[in-house]
Amino acid sequence: MSRSADFSGPSFVVAIKDPLTFHMSRGMNPGVPAQLQFGGFRSNTHKFHRVRSLGTYPDEHFTEGEPKRLIAAFQGRLTQISQEIQERNKSLPIPYRYLDPHQIENSTSI
């Protein structure tokens, strides 16, 4: 497979049917699928994607007092949860960060 075809992604037919012998000739591990070993393909879209953590609202959509109070209370609770998780992680050999609000993307799809 040539590097010029890499833009098509992992679902591209040539990438799926790429002969393993080509990769073995470069000294790759034959036990791992060739498509997983190729490190030349990289998406550039990550440069433009800004991830905002849960509870981060840079745009002010509400001007009334009650919604602003609720948002502030929610952000305060998220901070408290994050501090509890970080404190618990200090005693763990491998920290568990997956439920830390600062590690969760602020998205409507969750």
DSSP single-letter state for residue 42:
-
For the chain, give every domain's residue range.
3-47, 51-110
Q: How far apart are CA 51 and CA 54, in angstroms?
A: 9
Give the pLDDT confidence score for residue 53 in this predicted structure: 78
Predicted confidence at residue 54, as pLDDT, reads: 82
Whether pTM exceeds 0.75: no
pLDDT mean values, one per 10 residues, the chain (110 residues)? 50 51 51 54 53 78 88 92 92 88 74
| Residue % of the chain over a pLDDT of 90 | 22
